Chains A and B, each alone.
Chain A
Amino acid sequence: GAVVSQHPSWVICKSGTSVKIECRSLDFQATTMFWYRQFPKQSLMLMATSNEGSKATYEQGVEKDKFLINHASLTLSTLTVTSAHPEDSSFYICSARGWDKRGTQETQYFGPGTRLLVL
């Protein structure tokens, strides 16, 4: 249980185009999902917190108009990188908050990540 998927797993696009990344909780409902970005050999940096049915909360320094987040259902959040540029090339990882196996604690379950390369 508690599986999170991401699609696509990798994408290559031209500069100026927009790219949408999906994050799905496959076997549980997640009212809260998180989007992270990871540069090579660096740590995960939280970009935004996505709440079902409401606007996302962005971290300081993250452009809202650049990284559009939509959390339309309890199992799906999307991240759209608008007008992508080469500096947006990175590894994007989502996580979904859900209950652990014993149902005693909430924890974050991570997706496998999406590698974006902007040419």
Chain B
Amino acid sequence: AQRVTQPEKLLSVFKGAPVELKCNYSYSGSPELFWYVQYSRQRLQLLLRHISRESIKGFTADLNKGETSFHLKKPFAQEEDSAMYYCALSKSYNTDKLIFGTGTRLQVFP
């Protein structure tokens, strides 16, 4: 069965510190991986997806098939990055069903 694991429920850092939100997945095929973000009192929105290979708001994520990981990184955290981050997996490239991790709350202190 497919599964997405986010081991940290809460990650607290100071502004300017590097951030890494961990995500591991289990799936025997070739998945598409996503990071979604939910800011306070806002809806869930797509942050980035691995096939785009983009940097969004300074965040990057690299798919490591050997380690089955898709960790989200940012070299210098900002206060406005404080939010709930969800890693998600889709079994195909047409964004079919999404399987979400349990989420990591990122708190960036001034």
**B97 contacts A43, C-beta separation under 8 Å:** no
CB distance from B48 to the nearest CB of A (A): 11
Give the interface SS of chain A, mostly helix, strand, loop or mixed: strand
Judge whether A80 is part of the interface by a CB distance below 8 angstroms: no
**B95 contacts A108, C-beta separation under 8 Å:** yes
Residues of B within 8 A of A112 (CB): 42-43
A to B CB contacts below 8 Å, 10 in the list:
A43-B103, A46-B97, A46-B98, A93-B44, A95-B98, A97-B95, A105-B52, A108-B98, A110-B43, A111-B43
Q: A107-B46, A113-B43 are in contact. Are A44 and B86 (CB under 8 A)?
A: yes
State which size class the interface on A falls in. 20 to 34
State which size class the interface on B falls in. 20 to 34
Residues of A within 8 A of B100 (CB): 43-45
Beta-carbon contacts under 8 Å, A1-48 to B: 4, 34, 42-46
Judge whether A78 is part of the interface by a CB distance below 8 angstroms: no
Judge whether B99 is part of the interface by a CB distance below 8 angstroms: yes
Q: A43-B102, A93-B44 are in contact. Are A107 and B97 (CB under 8 A)?
A: no
Judge whether A63 is part of the interface by a CB distance below 8 angstroms: no
**B97 contacts A110, C-beta separation under 8 Å:** no
Residues 42-70 of B, flagged 1 when their CB comes within 8 A of A and 0 if not, give: 11111001011000000000000000000
